[in-house]
């Protein structure tokens, strides 16, 4: 079963604060209030118990006793779900159909889902379908997070954000369909830059991950762009960064945080266009990472220190943008600890090596942008994506010859 997403679909106003209806009497009334309290917790809000209970003076004392038990039960249920979600994916997921989508092949896996290429016969188009591979009942926390965030992603209409078309569930597995992007994650680009002397043919790299199929558009030789991406082209990197920030800026203006920006969630297509994906599971992913005791997951490396305290705002996303830009420039992650505890400690103490100490040829302006994004004191970071975007535009307007390495650096590189 699947349904098209509508911008009108979102939790009702009564679930975001005080109810807009008359409450029942007695125990039913307390349970209705508890459901409002729970809904706000599930949205990721920090709800002060004293303030919340004070809104219902006639039941304030009962609520102060009852709501902590409700919250504890919810936390226990979430822990069970997140523990289940730490189980490894099966090597092969034998699915041929999800709702109206005919599965063609698996194309990617992430911390919280598997992505398939699929065909939508009713509209005669290819799409990408992301599946939450574990089974959860409809009222489970993860299922509700997944569906709510899918609706959120569907409302975002921006040239650099992957459009979400519809969502659904089948046999207690949840999925959503989005535009199929013929591109690869920036993590793959970074890896290839490290291996190929810093010069990558996008045609060859994308063809490696998206081999041509009969009938697929966009992969004939006539469509090849012969685009080369050079790691030492700082303006190319600046253009990649500006596209990322343009999309983040739009999302923030729309009241949405991404909360999981990292190279693997940023796709680059044949023409150098950036697409942000995975607005869907950021909240669930964070809870899994912070509360689990399992191995280090990739997302953790891009989390701002305040995220460990469940604190989020625009500066949290901008920190992750900075960590991603750091990796694009240096070809190595900001933090490279091998254990989760050491990695969290390095992040909390801000133990990063300045980019130009890793690669001295990185432009000073670009290093300043990265370090401002990742300042340990979030009050010293960019306050908004607007500010970061303005600095990137100033960087892009700098004459490229200022970024070229001196003759003796070029000589050393060739020797």
Q: What is the CATH number of the domain that holds 228?
A: 1.10.510.10
CA 9, distance to chain mean position in Å, is 21
Per-residue confidence (pLDDT) for residue 132, from 0 to 100? 79
Same domain, 326 and 294: yes
Same domain, 67 and 99: no
End position of a domain, from candidates 149, 179, 209: 179
In this structure, is the dihedral angle defined by the CA atoms of residues 294, 349, 45 and 169, taken in order, positive or negative?
negative
Same domain, 156 and 194: no
Q: Give the number of other CB atoms < 10 A from CB of residue 351.
A: 13
Q: How many domains does the chain have?
A: 3
Q: What is the CATH number of the domain that holds 125?
A: 3.30.200.20
What mean pLDDT do residues 235-260 have? Answer: 92
Same domain, 243 and 390: yes
Same domain, 380 and 310: yes
Same domain, 216 and 240: yes
Same domain, 163 and 208: no
Mean pLDDT (the chain) is 79
Element (H, E) at 33: helix 26-42
pLDDT band of residue 348 (cuts 50, 70, 90) is: very high
| Domain enclosing residue 48, as ranges | 4-84
Position of tokens 């996303």?
317
Asked if residue 400 belongs to a domain, the reply is: yes
CB 154 within 8 A of CB 7: yes
End position of a domain, from candidates 145, 162, 179: 179
pLDDT in tens, 4-30: 543 333 333 333 333 444 444 455 788
End position of a domain, from candidates 61, 84, 107: 84
Where does 88-235 show beta strands of DSSP type E?
A: 97-98, 101-110, 113-120, 125-132, 164-170, 173-179, 183-185, 199-201, 228-230
Q: Is the pTM of this model over 0.85?
A: no
Same domain, 64 and 193: no
Same domain, 238 and 295: yes
Same domain, 193 and 231: yes
The residue length of the chain stands at 415
Same domain, 137 and 192: no
Same domain, 208 and 321: yes
pLDDT in tens, 157-210: 999 999 999 988 888 888 999 999 999 999 999 999 998 778 888 888 888 877
């Amino acid at each position: 079963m699947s349904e098209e997403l509508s911008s009108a679909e979102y939790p009702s106003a009564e679930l975001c604060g005080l109810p807009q209806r008359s409450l029942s009497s007695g125990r039913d009334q307390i349970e209705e209030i508890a459901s409002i309290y729970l809904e706000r917790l599930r949205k990721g809000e920090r709800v002060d118990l004293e303030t919340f209970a004070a809104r219902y003076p006639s039941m304030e004392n009962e609520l102060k006793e009852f709501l902590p038990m409700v919250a504890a039960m919810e936390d226990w249920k979430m822990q069970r779900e997140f523990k289940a979600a730490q189980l490894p994916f099966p090597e092969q997921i034998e699915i041929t159909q999800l709702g109206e989508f005919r599965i063609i092949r698996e194309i990617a896996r992430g911390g919280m889902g598997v992505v398939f290429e699929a065909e939508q016969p009713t509209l005669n188009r290819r799409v990408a379908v992301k599946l939450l591979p574990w089974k959860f009942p409809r009222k489970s926390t993860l299922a509700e997070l997944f569906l709510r965030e899918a609706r959120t992603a569907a409302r975002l209409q921006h040239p650099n954000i992957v459009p979400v078309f519809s969502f659904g569930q089948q046999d207690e597995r949840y999925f959503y369909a989005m535009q199929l992007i013929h591109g690869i994650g920036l993590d793959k680009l970074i890896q290839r830059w490290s291996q190929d002397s810093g010069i990558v043919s996008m045609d060859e790299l994308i063809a490696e991950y998206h081999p041509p199929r009969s009938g697929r558009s966009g992969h004939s030789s006539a469509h090849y762009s012969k685009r080369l991406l050079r790691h030492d082209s700082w303006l190319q990197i600046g253009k990649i960064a500006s596209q990322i920030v343009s999309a983040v800026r739009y999302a923030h203006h729309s009241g949405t945080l991404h909360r999981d920006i990292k190279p693997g969630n940023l796709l680059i297509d044949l023409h150098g266009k950036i697409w942000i994906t995975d607005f869907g599971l950021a909240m669930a992913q964070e809870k899994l990472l912070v509360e689990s005791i399992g191995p280090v997951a990739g997302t953790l490396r891009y989390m701002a220190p305040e995220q460990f305290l469940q604190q989020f705002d625009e500066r949290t996303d901008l920190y992750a943008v900075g960590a991603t830009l750091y990796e694009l420039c240096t070809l190595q992650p900001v933090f490279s600890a091998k254990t989760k505890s050491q990695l969290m400690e390095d992040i909390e103490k801000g133990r990063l090596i300045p980019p130009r100490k890793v690669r001295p040829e990185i432009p000073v302006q670009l290093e300043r942008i990265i370090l401002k994004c990742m300042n340990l004191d979030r009050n010293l970071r960019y306050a908004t994506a607007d500010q970061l975007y303005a600095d990137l535009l100033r960087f892009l307007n700098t004459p490229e010859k200022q970024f070229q390495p001196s003759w003796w650096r070029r000589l050393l590189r060739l020797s």
